[in-house]
Amino acid sequence: FTSWGRETAKKYTAEQIRSILEELDSGEYGIVLRAKGILECADGGWIHFDMVPEEYDVREGGAAIIGKLCVIGSQLDEKAIAGLFGV
C-alpha cells in the first residue's frame, strides 16, 4: 500500500468533493482503499470527507489551518490524483 497526501489552500464546494470521490472510486486512479480530508469551503467554513470503496461521507466540520488530503491504496496514480484535486 502507498499513501498520497497534500496540503492545500484551494477552496472547494461540497459538490466538487462528491464528484472527486466518485471519480476516485472508479478504479482509474488505482485501488483506493481510503481517502479523507479537511478542505476549506468556497462559500465559507470547512468540508470534512471520508471515503472507502463504494461509500463516502461529505459534511461540514471544524476549521483547520490549511486544507489536508490523504489517499491510501495500491497502484495509485499520484499525478492523476493531484490533477483530480487540482493541487
Per-residue pLDDT reduced to its tens digit, 17-68: 999 999 999 999 999 999 999 999 999 999 999 999 999 999 999 998 999 9
Give the confidence band of 78 by pLDDT, cuts at 50, 70, 90: very high
Give the model's pLDDT for residue 16. 97
C-alpha cell at 63: 476549521
Identify the pLDDT of residue 48.
98
pLDDT at 38: 97
Quick one: cell of 66?
Answer: 490549511
Put simply, whether the predicted model's pTM sits higher than 0.75 gets the answer yes
37: its cell numbers: 480530508
